[in-house]
Amino acid sequence: MFTSRVRIALAEKGINYELIVEDLIDNKKSPLLEKHNPIYKKIPVLLHKGKSICESKIIIQYIDETWKEGYPLLPSDPYLKSQAAFWADYIDKHTYDCLKKISITEGEERQKAVEEFLEFLKVLERELGEKPYFNGESFGFVDMALICYYSNIIACETLANFSVEKHCPKLALWATQCMKRESVSKTLADPNKIYDLMMANTKKAS
Amino acid sequence: MFTSRVRIALAEKGINYELIVEDLIDNKKSPLLEKHNPIYKKIPVLLHKGKSICESKIIIQYIDETWKEGYPLLPSDPYLKSQAAFWADYIDKHTYDCLKKISITEGEERQKAVEEFLEFLKVLERELGEKPYFNGESFGFVDMALICYYSNIIACETLANFSVEKHCPKLALWATQCMKRESVSKTLADPNKIYDLMMANTKKAS
C-alpha cells in the first residue's frame, strides 16, 4: 500500500525509476533493505543519488521538493500545506488499523470494526465536501495518502459485506475519479488478489 | 509537552504571541478548543490570521514557512529535511508510549519498559553522534521534537531509578546544551512538578 503511494507520486511527476521488488514472504528482509532502512526495515525506501529516504509521506515530500518542475504534489501555501499534512496523518492514524481489524476479526467484533471505519470515512467525506480532490481542483498529497488503501478497502467491503458508496457517496465518487488517473490505476493492486490473501490469512489463523 | 515544542519554536523565531491556557483537568474541553481542533480536541493549536493549525510538528513546519526570516527551524535541503522529519517521527512513535508505560507500571514490568526506553534512546544517541545538535551545528526540528520530553524523562528517571546519562552520555550532554537555550529553559515544565503529578496518578490508580 505504502509503496503504491510513492509510485503514484513518481508517476504524477513523470519520473523514471527502477523498481526493486522485496520478497516479504515469511517476513524476510534483504540485505539491501536492512542497509537502507536499518530502523524499520520496511518498504518503501527511495534510493536517490546514493542516499535513502524512508517512510512514504516523507518520500513524497522529498520527491516534490527535489523535482520542483512539473506537477506539484503539495500546496506551496504554508497553511494549505499544513492542512494536507494534517489530513494525511489523520488517514494513516486510522485506516491501516481499521482495515486490519476488519480483516482479522469475525461476527460482532468485525461489525464494530466496520462501523468504526465508516465513522472515520464520514469525517473524510465531510472534509472532501464538494471538491473533486482533497486539496481542491488538483489531485495531490491527501488523495495519494488515501487512495493507496483503495484495493484493501474494496477487499474488506466484500469480506465484511458493507458498502462505502452507500454511506459515503462523495468519497466513492472521488475514488472513481482517482482511478481514472493512469498513475493510480496502473499502480494499485487487484482487489481480488487482496481479498484472496485476506481469506488465506483468515484460514491460516483459524 | 507538545505545547512546549511549539512555544520553543516561536521563541527561537522571536515571534510574539498570546498564550491561551486550556484547563485540561477532568478532560474538559473548552468551546474554543472544540471549535479550532474539532477532530482531536487536543492542544496545541496555533491560531493565526483567523485560521487554526493543529499537531505540534505540523505547526512548527507552518511557523518555519510562514516566518521565513530569522532562525530556520528546518533545513532547506530536501534530503536533510526528510531526515529531520524521519527522526522527529521516530521520536514521537516511541517516547510518549515508553514514558507512559514507565510511569504507570511497577516492578518487573516497569523495568522492562525502562530497558525498552533505553534501547530507543541508544538509537538516537547513535544518530546524534558527535554533532552538537541533531541537525548539525544548529538547534532545530529534531532537537525540539525530543527536548519537549525532557522534564518527563527526568521525572521518570527518579520514579524508576535509572540514569540516561549512564547509558547515553552524548544525549545527556546534548540535553544540557539544549537547556542552556532560553527558548527551552523558560518553556519546559519543572521536572519535580511532573514527578509529583506522576506519583499522584499512581496513588489514584492503586
ipTM above 0.85, yes or no: yes
Could you tell me if B131 and B179 lie in one domain? yes
Q: Does B51 share its domain with B88? A: no
Write the residue in A55, A82, A123 that is nearest to B89 by C-beta: A55
Residue with cell 471538491: A131
Of A16-25, A101-110, B135-144, the least confident:
A16-25
The CA distance from A70 to A90, in Å, is 27
Regarding whether A24 and A105 lie in a shared domain, the answer is: no
pLDDT category of residue B195 using cuts at 50, 70 and 90: confident
A54/B86 touch (CB, cutoff 8 Å), yes or no: yes
Of A65 and A205, which is predicted with more confidence?
A: A65
Find the residue in B nearest to A62 (Cα): B78
Q: What is the dihedral of CA B66, B67, B73, B75, to 10 degrees?
A: 70
Same domain as B93, residue B27:
no
Interface test with A, best of B77, B82, B127 (most A CBs within 10 A): B82
Cα distances from A25 to residues A29, A30, A110, B133, B165, in angstroms, run: 9, 11, 26, 39, 41
Q: How many Cβ pairs closer than 8 A exist between chain A and B?
A: 54
Residues of B with a Cβ under 8 Å from any A Cβ are 39, 51, 53-55, 58-59, 61-62, 65-66, 78-79, 81-82, 85-86, 89-90, 123
Q: Are residues B112 and B170 in the same domain?
A: yes
* pLDDT interval class at B63 (50, 70, 90): very high
- Residue of chain A nearest B120, judged by CA positions: A39
Q: What is the DSSP letter of B53?
A: E
pLDDT digits 0-9 by tens, A130-187: 999 998 999 999 999 999 999 999 999 999 999 999 999 999 999 999 999 999 999 9
pLDDT at B24: 74
> C-alpha B26: how far from its chain's center?
23
Per-residue pLDDT at B65: 96
At CB < 8 A and 24+ separation, what contacts does A52-58 make? A53/B79, A53/B82, A53/B86, A54/B86, A55/B85, A55/B86, A55/B89, A56/A2, A56/A3, A56/A5, A56/A6, A56/A148, A57/A5, A57/A88, A57/A89, A57/A92, A57/A141, A57/A145, A58/B82, A58/B85, A58/B86, A58/B89
CB contact under 8 A, A39 and B90: yes
Whether residue A172 sits in one domain with residue A95: yes
Nearest CB partner across the interface for A53, out of B61, B82, B90: B82
Residue A41 near residue A29, CB atoms below 8 Å? yes
B58: nearest CB among A53, A61, A82: A82
For residue B62, what is the nearest residue in chain A, using CA coordinates? A78
Last residue of a domain, one of A25, A43, A66: A66
Considering the domain architecture, whether residues A95 and A180 belong to the same structural domain is answered as yes
Q: Which residues of B touch A61 (CB under 8 A)?
A: 78, 81-82, 85
Determine whether the interchain pair A86/B62 forms a contact, defined as Cβ–Cβ distance below 8 Å: no
CA distances to A14, A133, A176, B26, B79 from A88, in Å: 22, 13, 19, 30, 20
A69 vs chain B: nearest CA distance in angstroms? Answer: 14
User: Which band of pLDDT confidence, cut at 50, 70 and 90, is reported for residue B70?
Assistant: confident
In order of A8, A71, A73, A128, A148, the CA distances from A182 in angstroms are 9, 14, 16, 22, 14
Q: Which residue of A has its CA nearest to B90?
A: A39
pLDDT digit string, tens, across residues A25-68: 777 889 999 999 999 999 999 999 999 999 999 999 999 999 99
In a domain, A71, yes or no: no
pLDDT at A205: 62
CATH number for position A37: 3.40.30.10
Domain hosting A9: range is 2-66
Residue at A110 is within a domain: yes
pLDDT of residue A204: 67
Q: How much is the pLDDT for A69?
A: 84
Q: Give the 3-state secondary structure of residue B80.
A: helix
Q: Which residue of B has its CA nearest to A66?
A: B78
Quick one: B197 and B113 in the same domain? yes
pLDDT score recorded for residue B205:
61
pLDDT tens for residues B71-128? Answer: 899 999 999 999 999 999 999 999 999 999 999 999 999 999 999 999 999 999 999 9
Q: What does the pLDDT read at residue A129?
A: 96
CATH number at residue A199: 1.20.1050.10
Return the pLDDT at A5: 96
Pair A46, A62: CB distance under 8 Å: yes
Predicted pLDDT at A145 = 97
Residue in the structure block whose three cell numbers are 485540561: B24
Per CB-CB distance under 8 Å, the chain A contacts of B66 are: 78-79
- Contacts made by residues A170-178, CB under 8 angstroms, sequence distance 24+: A170/A125, A170/A128, A170/A129, A170/A130, A171/A121, A171/A124, A171/A125, A171/A128, A174/A128, A174/A132, A174/A133, A174/A143, A175/A147, A175/A150, A177/A132, A177/A133, A178/A133, A178/A139, A178/A143, A178/A147, A178/A150
C-alpha cell at B13: 523565531
Quick check: is B73 in a domain? no
Which chain A residues have a beta carbon less than 8 Å from that of B58?
A: 82, 85-86, 89
Nearest CA to CA, how far is A62 from chain B (Å)? 6
Establish if A53 belongs to a structural domain: yes
Is residue B91 one of the residues assigned to a domain? Answer: yes
Looking at the structure of chain B, the number of domains it has is 2
Residues A146 and A169 in one domain: yes
What average pLDDT does the structure give for chain B? Answer: 93
**Residue B72, domain member (yes or no):** no
Chain A residues with CB under 8 Å of B78 CB are 61-62, 65-66
Residue range A67-100, pLDDT digits in tens:
998 889 999 999 999 999 999 999 999 999 999 9
Q: How far is CA B24 from CA B29, B33, B35, B83, B194, in A?
A: 7, 11, 16, 34, 15
